């Protein structure tokens, strides 16, 4: 067996072209692929090799080779530890990603989610044996309904976009039940997250964009002009994606309701107002809450999320199954739709593991701590805006911002440095880039969300770095930006090449060669 340059066997494959052994730091060696290290004989799991006397596989036995590489335990540990070190993470540095709410993920949450009474229970075991789980779901529901002042909550959506889908399905079901199936239009402000129009289109609605005002907010008059007997709903994010609270949100809700439509609120930015403003008081009918943003469940490199949806009294009858209800012998799980309800949007009970984490976080913070967290998140964003506005350009400077500070790229005019270049230079200073080019209503947007988790010291350091970078860009040091990052495990990656001839899995070098011919 051949050996790779870390002195380990290369197994079934050999290391592809372009592989070098270091990433520029002695502590961050490049790591070959699993298939270049392991082979089909090695395994890190000891299991007895049993004989099967009479198989019941009915002639459907596998003939195609699995060809799955295996690693022994020490090899696996090293492979995944080495890979992990090529990632930025909240625990290792600030993650000022606007609209993503990258806050601290408490480890108590993880510990509680792993209690066997939560992690080792089956979604279909008798409900009499999971009363504690149902009670936990009830408690989480109580917190979510109280914080939003709403009548009901559907816990099951698997993530924010899934919650949007459910909320809009509930609206569609309610419109159908009211004989209003002809309503085929959904209003979506131009500043919305891409999931909003995608969700509306998914359900067959046509999307009518609402332009943003010059100050970044939605004009109630523009909404009124767009409303008609064919409009089913508006999907509005509040606080909006420019980091602003919609000052006319109550008037917008009233106009929407007067026209017989529903108000779907995208709750991605709930972290700015939890415990301080209750969306139910603003007139919303449905709103998803990203537990992985607002309530600190980990992002995990892109999921799993959880997107419970709170519902107004008008939409509550259209909530999906399953849900928890008090029964004669304790708590019941209602698993089959009654009346006009829209049925089931996922197998089982949703993201239970995330419910446990979110409730643990809520109990830790308490009602008072959650309000303080929201206020600190808003304080931090305004502090960044105040410290940087003399160097950066602020598109909507008239209002205080909420939990995000938004800049545009006009401060870079004439420097030859783009928003992307600027963000990549931030990597070399140890920060994750901010959200770029979103919201779309601002040219070259840079959206910064510090969250409440960052200390004043970290914020000051971040602002110092941002200021220094801005001045350097203006001073003409273009190269520092266009070549960045220089100190990351990789330089800029060729995304065009990746998309033009996609390589989406590892193949043995001989197979890859054959496929290319």
Partner 1 sequence: MRYLPHSDHERAEMLGVIGATDIDALFSAVPKSALKTFDLGLPAHSPEFLVEAHMKALAAKNHAGADGPFFVGAGAYRHHVPATVDHLIQRSEWLTAYTPYQPEISQGTLQMLFEFQTQVAKLTGMDVANASLYDGSTGTAEAVLMARRLTRRNKVVLSGGLHPHYRDVVRAYLKDDADLECLSASPEGQGDILDHIDEQTAAIVVQTPDFYGHLRNIKTAADAAHAKGALLIVVITEVVSLGLLEAPGALGADIVVAEGQSIGNALNFGGPYLGLMATRKEFIRQMPGRLCGETVDAEGQRGFVLTLSTREQHIRREKATSNICTNSGLCALAFSIHMGLLGEAGFTRLARLNHANACKLADALAAVNGVEVLNSTFFNEMTIRTSLPAAALIERLAQRGILAGVPVSRLEPTDASIANLIVLAATELTTDADIAALCAALSEELK
CA nearest 308: which of 117, 144, 98, 113? 144
Least Å distance, CB 472 to partner 1, is 20
Dihedral angle over CA of 507, 510, 516, 517, nearest 10: -150
- Residue 82 to residues 9, 32, 509, Cα–Cα distance (Å): 17, 10, 24
What tokens does 41 get?
């004989």
Window 358 to 387, contacts with partner 1 (CB under 8 A): 359-360, 362-373, 375-376, 378-380, 382-383, 385-387
CA nearest 105: which of 82, 89, 81? 89
Window 97 to 156, contacts with partner 1 (CB under 8 A): 97, 100, 102, 104-106, 108, 110-126, 128-133, 135-136, 139, 143, 146-147, 149
Phi, psi of 81 (to 5 degrees): -70, -45
> Is residue 208 near partner 1 by the rule CB under 8 A?
no
> Is residue 19 near partner 1 by the rule CB under 8 A?
yes
> Is residue 182 near partner 1 by the rule CB under 8 A?
no
Least Å distance, CB 414 to partner 1, is 25
- Residue 429 to residues 46, 425, 432, 484, Cα–Cα distance (Å): 45, 7, 9, 10
Choices 16-24, 221-229, 311-319, 441-449; region in contact with partner 1 by CB under 8 A: 16-24
CA nearest 403: which of 452, 438, 365? 452
> Is residue 514 near partner 1 by the rule CB under 8 A?
no
Q: How far apart are CA 329 and CA 332, in angstroms?
A: 8
Sign of the dihedral through C-alpha 3, 5, 6, 7: positive
Window 302 to 361, contacts with partner 1 (CB under 8 A): 302-306, 320, 335-336, 342-354, 356, 359-360
Window 54 to 93, contacts with partner 1 (CB under 8 A): 54-58, 60-71, 73, 76-77, 79-81, 83-92
> Is residue 516 near partner 1 by the rule CB under 8 A?
no
Residue 232 CB partners (closer than 8 Å, separation 6+): 171, 172, 175, 180, 183, 184, 185, 186, 205, 261, 262
End-to-end alpha carbon distance in the chain: 28
Question: Given the complex with partner 1, which of 306 and 448 has the nearer CB atom?
Answer: 306
Least Å distance, CB 44 to partner 1, is 4
Window 240 to 279, contacts with partner 1 (CB under 8 A): 244-247, 249-250, 273, 275-278
Contact (CB, 8 A) for 310 and 153: yes
Question: Given the complex with partner 1, which of 11 and 411 has the nearer CB atom?
Answer: 11
User: Using CB under 8 A, which of 184, 325, 443, 456 touches partner 1?
Assistant: 456
> Is residue 16 near partner 1 by the rule CB under 8 A?
yes
Least Å distance, CB 227 to partner 1, is 19
Question: Given the complex with partner 1, which of 325 and 413 has the nearer CB atom?
Answer: 325
> Is residue 503 near partner 1 by the rule CB under 8 A?
yes
Mapped onto helix, strand or coil, the DSSP state of residue 268 is helix
User: Using CB under 8 A, which of 26, 45, 326, 516 touches partner 1?
Assistant: 45
């Amino acid at each position: 067996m051949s050996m790779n340059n870390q002195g380990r066997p290369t197994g079934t494959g050999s290391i592809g072209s372009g592989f070098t052994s270091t990433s520029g730091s002695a502590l961050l060696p490049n790591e070959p692929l699993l298939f270049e290290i392991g082979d089909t004989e090695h395994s890190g799991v000891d299991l007895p090799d049993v004989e099967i006397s009479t198989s019941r596989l009915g002639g459907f036995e596998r003939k195609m080779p699995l060809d799955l590489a295996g690693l022994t335990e020490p090899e696996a540990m090293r492979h995944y530890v080495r890979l992990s070190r090529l990632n930025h993470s909240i625990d290792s540095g600030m993650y000022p990603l606007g609209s993503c709410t990258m806050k601290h993920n408490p480890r108590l949450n993880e510990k509680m989610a792993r209690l066997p009474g939560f992690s080792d229970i089956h979604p279909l075991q008798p409900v009499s044996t999971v009363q504690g789980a149902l009670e936990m779901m009830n408690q989480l529901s109580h917190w979510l309904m109280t914080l939003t002042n709403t009548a009901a909550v559907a816990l099951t959506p698997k993530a924010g976009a899934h919650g949007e889908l459910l909320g809009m399905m509930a609206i569609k079901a309610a419109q159908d039940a009211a004989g209003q199936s002809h309503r085929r239009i959904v209003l979506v402000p131009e500043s919305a997250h891409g999931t909003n129009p995608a969700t509306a289109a998914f359900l067959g609605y046509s999307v009518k964009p609402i332009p943003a005002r010059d100050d970044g907010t939605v004009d109630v008059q523009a909404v009124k002009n767009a409303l008609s007997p064919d409009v089913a709903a508006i999907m509005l994010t509040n606080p909006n994606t420019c980091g602003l609270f919609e000052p006319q949100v109550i008037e917008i809700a009233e106009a929407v309701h007067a026209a017989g439509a529903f108000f779907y609120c995208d709750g991605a930015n709930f972290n700015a107002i939890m415990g301080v403003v209750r969306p139910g008081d603003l007139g919303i009918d449905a709103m998803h809450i990203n537990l992985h943003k607002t309530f600190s469940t980990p992002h995990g490199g892109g999921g799993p999320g959880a997107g419970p949806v709170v519902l107004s009294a008008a939409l509550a009858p259209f909530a999906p199954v399953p849900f928890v209800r008090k029964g004669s012998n304790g708590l019941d799980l209602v698993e089959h739709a009654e009346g006009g309800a829209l049925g089931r949007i996922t197998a089982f009970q949703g993201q239970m593991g995330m419910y446990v984490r979110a409730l643990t976080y809520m109990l830790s913070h308490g009602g008072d701590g959650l309000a303080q967290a929201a206020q600190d998140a808003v304080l931090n964003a305004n502090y960044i805006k105040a410290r940087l506005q003399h160097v950066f350009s602020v598109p909507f400077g008239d209002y205080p911002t909420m939990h995000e500070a938004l800049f545009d790229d006009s401060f870079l005019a004439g420097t030859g440095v783009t928003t992307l270049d600027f963000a990549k230079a931030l990597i070399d200073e140890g920060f994750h880039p901010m959200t770029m080019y979103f919201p779309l209503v601002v040219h070259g947007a840079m959206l910064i969300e510090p969250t409440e988790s960052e200390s004043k010291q970290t914020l000051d350091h971040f602002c110092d770095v941002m200021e220094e970078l801005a001045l350097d860009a203006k001073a003409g040091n273009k190269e520092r930006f266009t070549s960045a990052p220089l100190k990351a495990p990789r330089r800029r990656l060729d995304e065009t090449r990746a998309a033009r001839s996609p390589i989406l899995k590892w193949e043995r070098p001989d197979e890859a060669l054959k496929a290319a011919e």
